[in-house]
Amino acid sequence: MQINRHRPWASAAVAAGLMLAGGAQAASGVAMTPPMGWNSWNHFEAKIDDATVRAQADAMVSSGLRDAGYRYINIDDTWEGERDAQGVIRPNKKFPDMKALADHVHSRGLKLGIYSSPGAKTCAGFEGSLGHEVQDAKTYAAWGIDYLKYDLCSLGDTMRAAGGLEKAQAIEVAAYEKMRDALAATGRPIVYSLCQYGFYQPWRWGPSVGGNLWRTTGDINDKFPRMVQIGFSQAGLSKYAGPGHWNDPDMLEVGNGGMNAVEYRTHMSLWALLAAPLLAGNDLTTMTAETAAILSNKGVIAIDQDALGKQGDRVRQEGPLEVWAKPLSGGAVAVGLFNLSDLPANMTLNAADVGAKGSVAMHDVWADKALGKLKVFKAVVPAHGVVVLRVG
């Protein structure tokens, strides 16, 4: 079943947005570092069911990903059934007992996520939460849900008919506020993921509606050009991220087969420097040792999960060569030297580029190799590749 995830109602126009609202997310105690886990959509799309989710949870443990920091097992669209006479949402026959599934996931030391929409229908045409926000939040809490991905989808029809950007944005903001309040009323800590593709600058108003993370882009796919387009478009957004509220450039494609290992390391490295959520999107039960090694690299994950909670940003760009840096706790800096060209390239990092005075300790993160104290680092970076350094 191929589902069209494009949203033709979304125009290129973007409203000015509301200003950042502060620390409600931090107070909730969830997503203090970017969420790490797995989501069903990128690999399975509509072919997801109870048995598959259980298998992914088990594989997250046996593969070592849980011990590497991955915690959430997130069910995307197509789990939804009909509402009963009282309006309570029921899962469809693919998910016979959602509470039992949550119990299984929790027994593995993991958390369970689910998906809905503030519109009447989800992207795949299943039951959305419009008019049932309080009921759905109570149901999720009763099942033991720990994470909600809330996908704009059919609410766009209402927004498009609103007659102007300000009215459309007001509809969107109000919809996300309704579910924020409904989730809060349950008393259960639930990560709140706003999936609305960056419309109306959600990095400015996401915290005010309770978002722990918000999509900044359209959907990713498993091709190097699309990953590059999405990832490097995050330049300039670093000031909007922090503990409890994160920019989300969409899920990881590592291991799905559309890129090679060099490109997947670039993908993983960039997301870590961006302090982005790390949500694997492959089949954990069949992944290769190489894929598992990319997803579980301790040094790269430590950059993403650094307690300072700073998102990295672009330091300089020369054509297809880019240098990005992310401040780390303790005064160190993570640096990525990216070569987006189709041929190997010589790249240089001066310690002064990231604020160091004189020689400073440098560590090659992917090679896990101390490089000594250097004023200047030089490397041949492979085509579509990256060198990640810890400086200081």
Integer Cα distance of 157 and 198 in angstroms: 17
How do residues 359-388 score in pLDDT, each as one tens digit? 999 999 999 999 999 999 999 999 999 999
Tokens of 86: 């009282």
Across residues 114-129, what is the average pLDDT? 98
Decide if 268 contacts 254 (C-beta within 8 A). Answer: yes
Enumerate the β-bridge partners of residue 195: 151
Distance from C-alpha of 373 to C-alpha of 352, rounded to nearest angstrom: 13
CA distance 240 to 225: 25
pLDDT given for residue 27 in this prediction: 52
The residue ranges of every structural domain in the chain are: 24-304, 313-391
Which positions are annotated as active-site residues? 151, 219
Check for a shared fold between 24-304 and 313-391: no
pLDDT score at 8: 28
pLDDT value at residue 250? 98
Query: Do 387 and 379 touch, CB atoms closer than 8 A?
Result: yes
Environment class of residue 13 by beta-carbon count within 10 Å: exposed (0-12), middle (13-18) or buried (19+)? exposed
Question: Tens digit of pLDDT for each residue in 34-87?
Answer: 999 999 999 999 999 999 999 999 999 999 999 999 999 999 999 999 999 999
Residue 273 has pLDDT above 50, yes or no: yes
Report, at the CATH architecture level, how domain 313-391 is classified.
Sandwich (2.60)
The pLDDT > 70 percentage for the chain reads 93
pTM over 0.85: yes
* Model confidence band, residue 163 (pLDDT cutoffs 50, 70, 90): confident
pLDDT(277) > 50:
yes
Which superfamily does CATH assign the domain made up of 24-304 to? Aldolase class I (3.20.20.70)
Give residue-wise pLDDT tens across range 180-230. Answer: 999 999 999 999 999 999 999 999 999 999 999 999 999 999 999 999 999
Could you identify the residue written with the tokens 């310690």?
351
Residue 29: the pLDDT is 87
- Residue 356 Cα distances to 132, 333, 371, 385, angstroms: 54, 9, 16, 25
